[in-house]
Amino acid sequence: MDGLSLSSCVDSTHTSPLPDAPRACSRSKMNLSLRLFFTTLLALATSFAFNILFFNWLERPTLDQILLIVFPAAALGYLIFSLWETRIGSGVLHAPMAKFQYNGGAISSLLREHAPGIVLALLFFAAYTFIGLQLNFANSDTTDNFLDADNFPWMQRIAAPNGYLLEMRAPHPFAYFIFRPLGWLLNLFTPTPTLSAILLNTLAGALCVFMAWVFIKRQFQNPIYALLVASLLGLSTSHFFFGSVIETYIFSAAALIGFVLVLQNRTDSLFAPVTMSLITFGITLTNFAQNFIGFVVIQVLKVFHPEQSGETKKTFRVFFMKIFRFTALTLSLGIVISLIHATWYPSSRLFFLPSDAQIESDFSLSIFQGPSWKAIGRVILIVRTILLYTIVAPKPFVFGKEVGAWLPYFNFFKVTPELYSYSSYNGLGNILVATWVILLFVSGVFFLLNLIRTRKADLSVAFALSLLFNFILHLGYGWEPFLYSPDWAYALIFFVGLSLAPLAKNRLFQGALLVFLILLAYNQIQFIKFILETIAPFYSQGG
């Protein structure tokens, strides 16, 4: 604002001895008013023109017409206003502009430093790919068969030549922009689009394992503990299954873990957090809430415990403005990119239009408007799914003729009149789930003791709040809650990994955790084997 902001103008009226201060403030306020006026005018004009040209604005219902003007205009207005204020690069959204210089020695050193995590990720990539090749079929529509996964349509959307013609629902605002270029790139090297989609999915699963290793390694400088925690993520039912079976959620998990790594860097720039949040938002918009939670927790840390974050103490005004800018930039850019996405891919729905989002009511559950047994059953199912099924695979229910499908359906629960039934454990599964419950309990105790003793918010708080958010969200959304488990698996495992910090270097604990992981791997393999053996007769009969 020509060297003056509104806040500095207000301060100068009280502190500046210069007689020109009031006139400077008056000019500053006038400049602000003019900027708001021209920004609003330009945003509204652009919004009108874009909607008339690309969205048949005049032919839409009245509510759609209003929202198609208001949302884009608000988003564009904020972006234009921000760019004007910062003069494109001198302010809050600033990407470091460093010249790239090849340094073979530095790259070699980086690879050596991260070698354990890379090797672990490659092992999981191989395992996920082996399973993925057996559970993702090019010529058989297995939508909803495998724990409600839409693996067949997502294979098409990611890499099939005409996959972009399939409808893209509103919760995935610009997923085609994220997936289609990657699918096209892999198609250059693979013989079939199906293989491209499988490899992209399994690569995302392996990337999650690698980033988990990086996160724990940075946190504790303990590569062995990092390997154990990253292996726990990779072997969890959630990642072992959805790292292999194609869906959006393993990609969501990768974006969420990537955002955690950004937060761990404690950078004051908004460029990296906003960029990662846009990827999260573009894949599944509700997951942006978890980014918001993590960002707020880090900002709280900077306000109340600047010594822990390595920064000078932040004021509440700076705290509030940082959160506002992060949220407004992400949402504004997300809306604009969603509009371009819907123009580029007409099969896409816009998340802010009721007419486009109303299909989501098919996936919503009004459990508290029904009988009490349904509400209680749903609550228990969500708790069991988040805390138990996410990590240790139970024996799934198998549905055949009663669902009218040629191939069996697998789910972790069953609803009959006045009764919820849940997948259970037997044999080794009982030992594993009991051990996991003990680990969860000890983690919770350590977390509370640390919180009471230090009174410091850290990422453990963000992970706990993310788990709570997912619990509340899925009480009323989604039939099979395990489908969404990659959205919270990272938070659950990172919460345990951080909370058990006092035991991280204990060799006895590390050995016990290694034994647990070996037995968990066997249990998860048996789970996959059960699914494959169940569907084998149907394929041998010609499907």
State how far the Cα of 83 lies from the Cα of 77, in Å rounded to an integer: 10
The pLDDT-based confidence of 111 (bands split at 50, 70, 90) is: confident
Residue 269, SS3 per DSSP = coil
Q: Which two tokens stand for residue 121?
A: 């990720």
The predicted structure's pLDDT at residue 390: 97
Average pLDDT over every residue of 506-515:
96
Identity of residue 3: G
The predicted structure's pLDDT at residue 13: 41
Over residues 179-227, the pLDDT tens digits come to 999 999 999 999 999 999 999 999 999 999 999 999 999 999 999 999 9
The domain ranges of the chain are: 6-13+22-86, 120-365+425-540
The predicted structure's pLDDT at residue 417: 86
Q: Which residue has the tokens 């609803």?
A: 415
The pLDDT-based confidence of 1 (bands split at 50, 70, 90) is: very low
Average pLDDT over every residue of 411-434:
93
Q: Which two tokens stand for residue 167?
A: 């409808």
Give the residue from 404, 399, 480, 410 showing the smallest Cα distance to 145.
Answer: 410
pTM: 0.89
User: What percentage of the chain has pLDDT greater than the value 90?
Assistant: 64
Over residues 329-362, the pLDDT tens digits come to 999 999 999 999 999 999 999 999 988 888 877 7
The pLDDT-based confidence of 5 (bands split at 50, 70, 90) is: very low
The predicted structure's pLDDT at residue 85: 67
The predicted structure's pLDDT at residue 228: 97
Q: Over 70: is that where the pLDDT of 251 sits?
A: yes
Over residues 357-374, the pLDDT tens digits come to 888 777 888 777 878 888
Q: Over 60: is that where the pLDDT of 9 sits?
A: no
Over residues 217-246, the pLDDT tens digits come to 999 999 999 999 999 999 999 999 999 999
Identify the H or E element spanning 421.
Answer: strand 419-422
- Which one has a higher pLDDT value, 371 or 2? 371
State how far the Cα of 195 lies from the Cα of 192, in Å rounded to an integer: 5
Q: For strand 413-416 and strand 397-399, is the pairing parallel, antiparallel, or unpaired? A: unpaired
- Which one has a higher pLDDT value, 40 or 470? 470
State how far the Cα of 392 lies from the Cα of 524, in Å rounded to an integer: 7
The predicted structure's pLDDT at residue 307: 52
The predicted structure's pLDDT at residue 56: 84
Q: Which range (345-354, 379-388, 481-490) has the least confidence?
A: 345-354
Q: Which two tokens stand for residue 93?
A: 């959204």
The predicted structure's pLDDT at residue 28: 56
State how far the Cα of 436 lies from the Cα of 22, in Å rounded to an integer: 66
180 Cβ neighbours under 8 A, 6+ residues apart: 157, 158, 163, 164
532 Cβ neighbours under 8 A, 6+ residues apart: 134, 135
The pLDDT-based confidence of 418 (bands split at 50, 70, 90) is: confident
State how far the Cα of 355 lies from the Cα of 66, in Å rounded to an integer: 13
CB-CB contact of 484 with 470 (8 Å): yes
Q: Which range (8-22, 178-192, 458-472) has the least confidence?
A: 8-22
Average pLDDT over every residue of 324-331:
95
Q: Which range (263-272, 374-383, 427-436) has the least confidence?
A: 263-272
The predicted structure's pLDDT at residue 133: 95
- Which one has a higher pLDDT value, 111 or 184? 184
In whole numbers, what is the pLDDT of the chain averaged over residues? 87
Q: Which range (36-45, 309-318, 443-452, 459-468) has the least confidence?
A: 309-318
- Which one has a higher pLDDT value, 417 or 117? 117
Average pLDDT over every residue of 27-39:
70
Q: Over 70: is that where the pLDDT of 49 sits?
A: yes
Q: Over 70: is that where the pLDDT of 540 sits?
A: no
